[in-house]
Amino acid sequence: MFAAKNAFFTHTAVSPTVSFDAVGAGVSGHGSSSVWAQSHTLGGTANTLLVAFSLWSTSNPSSVTAKFNTGSVNIPALVSLPNWTTLSSLPVGLWVFGLNGASVPTGAQTVSITTVGGGATQDGAAISCSYIGGTGFGTAANSQVTSNQTSLSVGPVTATATQMVFSCFSPPSTLSSTLSVGNITSRRNIAWASGLNFALLVGDIVGAGSTTCTATDSAGHPYGAIAVPIL
């Protein structure tokens, strides 16, 4: 009788489900500016933010940093791929920054990327996404593909069905690149612009154990990509 009563109260803890909150306005541009700032309004229960940043610059930056409100809260780099390839002998980089927990501010914010030492001309694009229910980040994966490809992928990474995987794709090319989603949900897709920026696609997918994120480039170019599990 007592055994049955105790069994009734036995339960298994279930991890909270991660869900998408909001996407920032996105920012892109070309010139001597070393700051890329975008507006991002986070919901009241959001506790996770990730930012993807692609850059083609005159020289390899000595530092690339991300912050809320131009300095009040630092957003650490989770994956840094500076100079993962070159285009016209100039360095190409891709980064993902991430912050989780109580230090993530909510409401209307500004998310800024700042480069130091990138040279006189820098072509950059950045997109931020916020999420609800995250408890941290898992082991990330990246792709650094230097041959022309129409089918793009990054992973696998490990994420359960209660978690999500954030991913970004960016092909370095002086020719038009049109990115489309494969199995991910697109959150923002900054188009390639001649003399301004590379294309940058950001999206996510619900975890499925061993999870690979995919996209397509109809023109076929080299590409960099990063995937980060949100636990």
User: Which structure tokens are listed for 155?
Assistant: 């992973």
pLDDT of amino acid 70: 59
Alpha helices in 90-158 (DSSP H): none
Q: What is the maximum alpha-carbon separation in the chain?
A: 79
pTM attached to this predicted model: 0.92
Instruction: Please name the amino acid found at residue 12.
Output: T
Using CA atoms, how far apart are residues 7 and 141, in angstroms rounded to an integer? 42
Bridge partners, 228 (sequence order) = 166
Whose CA is closest to 140, among 223, 208, 54, 231? 231
Residue 10 is predicted with a pLDDT of 46
- pLDDT tens for the 231 residues of the chain, in order: 444 444 444 444 456 699 999 999 999 988 766 899 999 999 999 999 999 999 999 888 999 999 998 567 999 999 999 999 999 999 999 999 999 999 999 999 999 999 998 888 889 999 999 999 999 999 999 999 999 999 999 999 999 999 999 999 999 988 888 899 999 999 999 999 887 789 999 999 999 999 999 999 999 999 999 999 999
Asked whether the beta carbons of 109 and 41 are under 8 A apart, the reply is: yes
The CB-side HSE value for 128 (13 A sphere, CA atoms) comes to 27
Strands 35-42 and 164-170: unpaired
For residue 5, give the 3-state DSSP assignment: helix
| pLDDT for res 188 | 98
**Amino acid symbol at 181:** V
First to last CA, the chain: 40
Q: CB-based contacts of 13: which residues, under 8 Å, 6+ apart?
A: none
Measured distance CA(73)–CA(88) in Å, rounded: 36
Model pLDDT, residue 16: 65
